[in-house]
Chains A and B, each alone.
Chain A
Amino acid sequence: MSVRLAWRKGLNGVMLTLTGVAAFAVVSVLFLILGYLIYNGGKSLNWNFFTKLPTPVGETGGGMANAIVGSLKLLLLAAVMGLPVGLMAGVYLAEFSGKTLSFIVRYTTDLLNGVPSIVIGIFAYSLAVLPVKHFSTLAGGVALGIMVIPITVRSTEEFLRSVPNSLREGAMALGASKWKTIATVILPAASGGILTGMLLALARVAGETAPLLFTAFSNRYWSPGWTQPIASLPVMIYTYAIAPYDDWHRQAWAAGLVLLGLVLLANLGCRLALSRSGIARSS
């Protein structure tokens, strides 16, 4: 009996250790990346990085101002093209569709979400680059916009479904039509979650490199308008990291840190705005 007890206690200890180590490994990987990024990137991060254009090979210094603006422009395009479609499809899935149709749409959305980003890049390439025969900001925006859609659809659907049905009934019992119920009660009730989901979708594509390589391409200079190749932080990181110059390696680390910083900043800003509106509602 005591052997049995010792075995059980031992097994318990082993499993506790195993799962604990795994959990610790997960956390430490993230902090290792963060620490390494801050350590390496912080050293070469200075004001010039945000204000200057890249310097020619051999010259040290310079910055990635064009890539920062480029990433923001690409994200803006992705947001304009992807978020409205994703939002509306999510509303359709959660509020309007029947069983069979919603299964098809949901399944397709999941498949689209699983399409490798490089394949989406090829698609955007054939759609927006080949016809005009040059790389453009617009093509990059199309690629990222497509990637934004499935994530937005699913998060919008999730958050709409989490709104209690009693609110729908309450609004309908007052004579609101289905659409009015959605627009005036259900969407506002789920707005916090939906906005967070949208932001996560944008944050996710902000770091995409592959689909930009042959759509937005890159640019060592400013890219005015929307029809020329444009630099972006992920592509710059890629280009600079594989180059054989130490100065470029340092710049790549700095770009990585800035990219992460932008994502974090957007996340914090969104949460702050949400909590503000939450306070406004309850005060």
Chain B
Amino acid sequence: MASAAQGKIEMTLAPHARTNDSSAAASSTSAVRFEIANLNFYYGPKQAVFSLNLKIPVNRVTALIGPSGCGKSTFLRTLNRMNETIRNTRVEGSILLDGQSILGMDVVNLRRRVGMVFQRPNPFPKSIYENVAYGLRINGYKGNLSEHVEKSLRRAALWEEVKDHLHKSAFALSGGQQQRLCIARALAVDPEVLLLDEPCSALDPVTTAKIEELMFQLKDSCTMTIVTHNMQQAARASDFTAFMLDGKLIEHNETSKLFTTPHDPRTEAYITGRFG
């Protein structure tokens, strides 16, 4: 632990060593799902992520915090290669999922294993049932579709609210229900990882609490990485927190430690609300 703390102080000089150290603390309790090493990301000529190193532990919630435009969403979207849908983007470095590089992986297979929930609920203009069944259908699922849809809706804590009108349009649901539907939709294909890109920024506090409760329940079976602007949310809902600034990972630690005893003055300035 002491070495980890020292490592964090020299972050600009040796980012690689620092994150390795800090994650070593993390991996003492659990295995690593994602191992990101020396990641650089470019939108055309503009670099958005700078030599980032991070280990994301299995079945834990890792929160990414930082001011707008610091590259946290961009980084999150490299983990399921969603950035590839944008023209003129380039990624360098290595991203290992369970020890296997995702950059050479079949993207369909990767996205089945790494699900994503977006900032605004984006249900398809289909029924509730069809929304959840979508991922199963396109992946050629052969088993009992209805059973699996029910299971996914239960996991997303939405089943009780929608079980009597599964064939109604998903647009008839409230914003919070739509977001849980999107989580159910992502869970339906049994992903190992769930990436959440500010999933609560369009929701009210009560609904936000529901989503956080849901994340807590999902931790048994799913590794989660959440981008959030809400520091309280990161503190409440995550086990590990990574602070990013200007495309660089500044500090990464267990959430309780990062929020109580930040090692970098910039982290401290950010979490105490002095900027961002």
Known contacts A167-B124, A169-B122; A282/B168 CB under 8 A? yes
The reply to whether B172 and A282 form a contact with Cβ atoms under 8 Å apart is yes
The interface residues of chain A lying within 8 Å CB-to-CB of B82 are 169, 172-173
Which interface class (under 10, 10 to 19, 20 to 34, 35 or more) fits B? 20 to 34
- Is the Cβ of B124 less than 8 Å from the Cβ of A176? no
- Whether A175 contacts B171 in the complex (CB less than 8 A), given A166-B120, A170-B182, A189-B125, comes out as no
Bound complex: CA A133 to CA B189 (Å)? 61
B85 contacts A169, C-beta separation under 8 Å: yes
Which segment, of B16-24, B25-33, B108-116, B151-159, faces chain A?
Answer: B108-116
CB of A164 within 8 A of chain B? Answer: yes
**Interface of chain B residues 163 through 183 with chain A (CB within 8 A):** 167-169, 171-172, 182
Say whether, besides A168-B85, A282-B172, A184 and B125 are in contact (CB < 8 Å): no
Tell me the interface secondary structure of chain A in the complex. helix
Across the interface, B122 reaches (CB within 8 A) one of A167, A175, A281, A282, namely A167
Complex: A188 Cα to B126 Cα, angstroms: 9
Q: Considering the complex, give the chain A residue whose CB is closest to the CB of B85.
A: A172
* Cross-chain contact A173 with B172 (CB below 8 angstroms): no
Task: Tell yes or no: A60 within 8 A of B by CB.
Answer: no
**A172-B82, A281-B126 given as contacts; is B138 within 8 A of A184 (CB)?**
yes
What residues of chain B have their CB less than 8 Å away from a CB belonging to chain A?
80, 82, 85, 87, 107-112, 115-116, 118, 120, 122-127, 134-135, 137-139, 167-169, 171-172, 182, 185-186, 189
Q: Given A174-B112, A174-B189, A175-B135, output 20 extra A-B contacts at Cβ < 8 Å.
A: A166-B118, A169-B85, A169-B116, A170-B118, A170-B123, A170-B185, A171-B134, A173-B80, A173-B82, A173-B115, A173-B186, A175-B108, A175-B110, A175-B112, A175-B189, A176-B138, A184-B134, A184-B138, A281-B126, A283-B168
